[in-house]
Every structure is written in C-alpha cells, then in structure tokens.
Amino acid sequence: MKVESITLHRIGMPLVRPFETSFGRETERDVLLVHLRTDVGEGWGECVAGSAPSYSSEYVDGCARVIEHHLAPLLFRVPQLSADDLERVFAPVVGHRMAKAALEAAVLDAELRASGTSFARYLGAVRSEVDCGVSVGISPSIDELLTEVQGYVDAGYRRIKLKIKPGWDLEPVRRVRDLIGPNLALQVDANTAYSRDDIAHLRELDAANLLLIEQPFDEEDIASHVALARAIETPVCLDESIVSVGVAIDAIERGATSIVNIKPGRVGGYLPAVAIHDACVQRTVPVWCGGMLETGIGRAMNVALAALPGFTLPGDTSASDRYYREDLTEPFVLSNGRLAVPTGPGSGVMVREDLVRDWALTPALPLAP
C-alpha cells in the first residue's frame, strides 16, 4: 500500500484515579494518536510514550517531532509498503522505538483492515480470550491500597501487581498478601527504583511468595539483575531493559531475567514483540503483556498479542474502566477475569473520532509527502 497522509492527534484522557509509580504520579494520560490514510484505507495507532521522559527516554513531544521530521518522510518515500518492511524503512533512525511502534500499529491496522484479517490472526493468536491482571499504583496509605486491591479482587482480576519503591515495599506487600490469601497471584514492579545495595532487603520479599519482581534496577544494569536473580527465590522479570530481541536473548542467557514483560511500544512494535515472544518460547521463558495505560486502540492490539501461545501469565491488559470512565473505542469489559480478543479486521475496534476532537490538547497536525 501507499501512505498518502498522516494526522497526529494529541489528546488528554483523565484517569479514574491517579496512578503513582516510583518515578511519578499521573492524573491524566497524554496520548499521541497516529491516523494514517493509504490507497487501501485507514489505520490508527497509539504511542505509549508518557508526557515526560521518566519511564524511558522517549516522551510524547519527542515522539511527535521524530515522526514529523524523520519517520513520516521515510514512509512517504515507499511506493509499495507493507508492515514487514518497516524495520528496514525505519533503519536510518536510531532508537525512538515508541514513535516507530505507533506508526507500525497504524500501518498494520490499515493493511489488515484492507485484507479483512484480525491482529490476532495475523500475529498468531491461539486463544479467544486472555487472562488479565491489574497494576496498582503507590497509595497515600496502606488502608487505601487495601481498599483498592479488594475492589480489583472483587472485579475478578487474576493477578495483582503492586508498584513498589524504597519505603513502600515489604509492609504493603505483606498486607496485600494477607488480604488476598495465598492463592491469588501477586507480583511487584519497582520501575528501576533500587540499586544493587538493596539486594539483601529485596530478598525479604521472598516471604510474600511473589510470582515475580519486575525491573528493580536501572534499565542498563543487567549485571545487578543477574546478582539479584542468584540471591533471591522470587523470579526476576525485566521490563524497561528489554528493548529488542537481542537484549532479551542476552539478558536470558546471562540469567538476569527468567520471565519477560513484552510491551510492543517499548520494543518498536508488534512485529518485534512477536520476535521476542518467539525467542522466549524457544528458551522456555514465560512472557506476559505489559501495559502503558493504553486507550482502546492499543488495548485491542495488546489483547491480540497476549493471545499468542507463549503469553502464559496474566498481562497488564486490564479493562477500560480500570483507567478511563469513557474509552476512545468500544470499552474492554472484564468477564471472569478475562478480556475477549477482538476478531474484526485490523484492531477490530472503531475509533470514536468525535472524542478525538473533544479531547484534543493541541490542534491536529496533518503530514503529507
């Protein structure tokens, strides 16, 4: 297909409750959307970068500029484009994986809609619904945390993930384990808040019988994760560090990660995400689908990815109402702790363009050859 134009939309979506991690507190999701027009039809993609470069070095303004000035011109130059070509087409631009992933999603959506194929079918899904977990932010108090967790347990989530940081770890984790009992899966995510000096302290988390501990140390510090993995019984799972299939294989072979969090945005798209999935399956490393507070657009695609065979652990693929009162697409609703995998062509969801207009933070930016 030929890309004829791209429109960048920047929208603000208020969160139903603030989401606090070790690196900051968000009350609104600042989302960059890519709307692609091609000779065979339209496609939408969502960029997962945050408004500040705090989860990773990418951020929304930067992604918009790199798309406008570097990636879109590369796309416009290709006479016959398929999503399979994108790695090669984008090769002149180093990094900027979240920006590339947003365009890849829109290209895939357009291409698959045109051929009447769903994301799930194209990516290799083997399930029609996926087990869902929920990520719980740092709370003002343990009592408020317990109330929030109880609400998610009542809603049917199959796994609870607690955000932790120094000063908010052993006690909240112990109290939540007491609340939910020994059988519900529980894991923690530090978003790089600790250092190698904390290994003895983190070992005390073993008492809570966690499914995993996610990214305790700096994203570039694989060696300290190896040291922790040797010292602790809880499996270590990398998130921020895993930016490519090469890094994934290296981290697995060095013993830094025995479970992998796959986020398409972080790794440059759904096709690189499938490559990491395949490399993990070959090495019998379980994977799960991470989340970046996606709107229905990214959520639909993530749910399709999470239906691949290697995704054997519940993902951060929560229902729309975990974050938003109103979603940008038809809402994803939890049923028995699971979300249904969309079956329609492309992402399988329809973008509500009236809401894209109503929630605009800045005027839409049209890009053309």
Tokens linked to 17: 């409750």
| Known catalytic residue at 2 | no
Report what 291 binds from Mg ion, ligand SMG, none; CB cut-off 5-8 Å by kind. ligand SMG
Q: Does 219 bind Mg ion (CB under 5 A)?
A: no
CB of residue 58 vs ligand SMG: minimum separation in angstroms?
11
| Known catalytic residue at 163 | yes
Pick the catalytic residue: 2, 100, 161, 163?
Answer: 163
CB of residue 191 vs ligand SMG: minimum separation in angstroms?
5
Phi/psi zone of residue 47: left (φ > 0), alpha (ψ -120 to 50 degrees), beta? beta
In whole angstroms, what is the distance from residue 80 CA to residue 82 CA?
7
CB of residue 328 vs Mg ion: minimum separation in angstroms?
23
In whole angstroms, what is the distance from residue 120 CA to residue 309 CA?
11
Nearer to ligand SMG (CB atom), residue 314 or residue 346: 314
Report what 133 binds from Mg ion, ligand SMG, none; CB cut-off 5-8 Å by kind. none
In whole angstroms, what is the distance from residue 303 CA to residue 290 CA?
10
**Contact criterion met (CB below 8 Å) for 282 and 118:** no
CB of residue 298 vs ligand SMG: minimum separation in angstroms?
9
Token pair 């290697």 in the structure block, residue: 310
Report what 292 binds from ligand SMG, Mg ion, none; CB cut-off 5-8 Å by kind. ligand SMG
| Closest by CA position to 298, among listed 134, 83, 102 | 102
Q: Does 189 bind Mg ion (CB under 5 A)?
A: yes
In whole angstroms, what is the distance from residue 186 CA to residue 164 CA?
12
Tell me the pairing of strands 129-131 and 133-136: unpaired
- Chain residues binding ligand SMG by CB under 6 A are 21, 26, 50, 55, 135, 189, 191, 239, 290-293, 316, 318
Among 57-65, 187-195, 304-312, 342-350, which window interacts with Mg ion (CB under 5 A)? Answer: 187-195
Dihedral sign, Cα of residue 192, residue 198, residue 203, residue 207: negative
- Residue ranges binding Mg ion (CB under 5 A): 189, 214, 239
Active site amino acids: 163, 263
